[in-house]
Amino acid sequence: MSQMTNEINYNVHCNDQTGSQLNDEGNGVGMVLKKGPWTAAEDVLLVNYVQKHGEGNWNAVQKYSGLSRCGKSCRLRWANHLRPNLKKGAFTAEEERMIAELHAKMGNKWARMAAHLHGRTDNEIKNYWNTRMKRRQRAGLPLYPPEVLLQAFQERKHGQGTGEISNGDGGHHDFLKKNNYEIHDAIFDSLKENQGILPFLPDLPAISANSFLPNCLGSPPYCNFLPSTLPNHDHFQESTMSFIGSSELNSNEFYPFDRIKDNNSDKISESFGLYSPLDRGASSHGSICYSHSLSNGNSSTSKLISEAAKSELPSLQIPETEFGCWGTSPPPPLNESLDVFIHSPQPPNALDSGSSPLNSGLLDALLYQANTLGCSKNNSSDKSLNSSIATPGDRAESSALNMYETEWEDYADPLSPFGATSILNEHPVVSTNGNSWDDWELFQTFSGNNERLQSVDQVWAPKSGNQSMSLLNLTLPDVLITSDWHELYSDHDSMNQAVMTEASDDISGQ
DNA sequence: AATGTCGGCAACCGCCCCACG
DNA sequence: TCGTGGGGCGGTTGCCGACAT
């Protein structure tokens, strides 16, 4: 920045309490304190002061160093720019990953996050996160890197592999413990508290997503759609949402938030801090994280959800739900995005079942949706769904991490060939299906096996035009709906259906 | 070349907590 | 117990450069 050359002097009083205190203590009442960018000379004065007197007692800086800065300003300048061992420059991939994990864990606790990132300041992390968040919001991408999600899977699987069944108390907290991170308990506590309020909050989960994802995503059909390398977990999320939603859209029996706006709706929305008109648009854009962020325009996870009028709900902090057929009620449309999942109260019959995937978050939504499809195909699909863990999924998980690290950001990068922004900008769409170009791009890019998909497509061709169109609306990127892409890739829906069906088959087969 | 827009970042602001007298 | 000082923290603002038009 050009602070060294910029000699702006605001010449205003430091109007916080420290400044006023300083005025009394230091150079006298009415001392005019400088604001604005620091000059090199000021830096030298501050450094000299700290070298002589050490850190702390910042209000004395003015007194002993001659700086016309309030103590707080001096402290910030020292902490953020002058103190030794500060690491400057761009964040490394590892740092970015840590930030994401830490943010998933603790929300906007920048200082605490900085404690985990040696040489980085809270301000730096905060700025990074905010800009990154905005960038990803624009791109319609989730805030959290896929490896964080993947880590969740692995943690959950590990727990399950040892006979542990995720439950409401522990299941959601486990996945970051590998790094000594822990999902903010308050998030889940709040959700629990809201169980009596929110009709769609289930008894906390009895089955881990882990039991499903490795199977489904590792299965051959998913190796196509979500290849074993899973090069982009953003896509993983969004694509998941896409093909999940595809299975049910044709039913026209989903339950958008504003359609089931019962007495609890307001409370629900308030609870999640999502009561914003923006959410509709955000939801329509197809990313839960994106939507969450948009809900307040400036995300904050530092608050409890229950009080989070300003809060962002990290995607990872969405509770897992019970995994099962969940009655016979038509599921809500996943294409409404996870925001709707969070927003939407249950349809009445779903409420009767006592649990719902609506609040389950992405993974559980996937679980639910796939299983629902499985139920539709096979009414006896109440088999145990967590009885085994498929090794293909393991492969997918292990191999994915390496690739995500770089490709995730590349994909998120609007300038990237995989970036969504440029495409979306080029093809402004009015979509209500919550899908993005990313889904299709991912599919096209990483499936790498169109032949196989084609064969699957042949097997699971849409049964009706309506279904086909519905599926298309859900599964194709928005751009396809409003452009010639539609024709070009109009069979994508059937592929998705095939994938989804295979997923349910896998589940049922377990 | 001029202008507008956007992103990144430093700095500020206001609130809060804690220690101490 | 209360007031005050010191400091920390999260949110916000505003500047500047890069880029697009």
Q: What is the pLDDT of residue A38?
A: 86
CA dist A122 and A127 (Å) reads: 8
CA dist A62 and A27 (Å) reads: 7
Confidence of residue A153 (pLDDT cuts 50, 70, 90): low
Quick check: A80 pLDDT over 80?
yes
Q: Locate tokens 């959410």: which residue?
A: A279
Quick check: A391 pLDDT over 70?
no
Angle at A186 between CA A180 and CA A189, to 5 degrees: 115
The DSSP 8-state label assigned to residue A104 in this structure reads H
- In tens, the pLDDT along A305-333 reads 333 333 333 333 333 333 233 333 333 33
Residue A138 or A175, more confident: A138
- In tens, the pLDDT along A112-128 reads 888 888 888 888 888 88
Quick check: A49 pLDDT over 70?
yes
Confidence of residue A54 (pLDDT cuts 50, 70, 90): confident
Pair of tokens at residue A78 = 């020292």
CA dist A471 and A408 (Å) reads: 27
Q: What is the percentage of chain A residues whose pLDDT exceeds 70?
A: 23
- Pair A485, A479: CB distance under 8 Å: yes
Round to a whole number and report the distance in Å from the CA of A300 to the C1' of C12: 13
SS3 A464: coil
Quick check: A81 pLDDT over 80?
yes
Phi first, then psi, for residue A287 (nearest 5°) are: -135, 125
SS3 A210: helix
Q: What is the percentage of chain A residues whose pLDDT exceeds 90?
A: 0
Round to a whole number and report the distance in Å from the CA of A1 to the C1' of C18: 13
Strand B interface, A 115-134, C-beta < 7 A: 123-124, 126-128, 131-132, 134
Cβ-count burial A166-175 (b if 16+ within 10 Å, e if not): bbbeebbbbb
Pair of tokens at residue A21 = 């205190």
A238-254 average pLDDT score: 31
Residue A153 or A407, more confident: A153
CA dist A164 and A151 (Å) reads: 17
SS3 A12: strand
Task: Please report the sign of the dihedral spanned by the C-alpha atoms of residue A261, residue A200, residue A246, residue A336.
Answer: positive
Residue A15 or A243, more confident: A15
- In tens, the pLDDT along A436-467 reads 333 333 333 333 333 333 332 332 333 333 33
For chain A, domains (ranges, CATH) are: 17-82 (1.10.10.60), 88-208+229-420 (no CATH)
Confidence of residue A47 (pLDDT cuts 50, 70, 90): confident
Q: What is the pLDDT of residue A145?
A: 67
A412-421 average pLDDT score: 34
Torsion of CA A414, A415, A419, A420, to 10 degrees: 50
Confidence of residue A56 (pLDDT cuts 50, 70, 90): confident
Q: What is the pLDDT of residue A300?
A: 34
Round to a whole number and report the distance in Å from the CA of A494 to the C1' of B19: 67
Q: Which residues touch strand C (CB under 7 A)?
A: A 1-2, 5-6, 8, 16-18, 21-22, 24-25, 56-60, 71-72, 75-76, 79, 108-112, 122-123, 126-127, 130, 298, 300, 302-303, 310
Q: What is the pLDDT of residue A31?
A: 59
Residue A280 or A67, more confident: A67
Nucleotides of C under 7 A from a protein CB: 4-12, 15-17
A132-159 average pLDDT score: 68
Quick check: A475 pLDDT over 80?
no
A419-428 average pLDDT score: 33
A36-48 average pLDDT score: 84
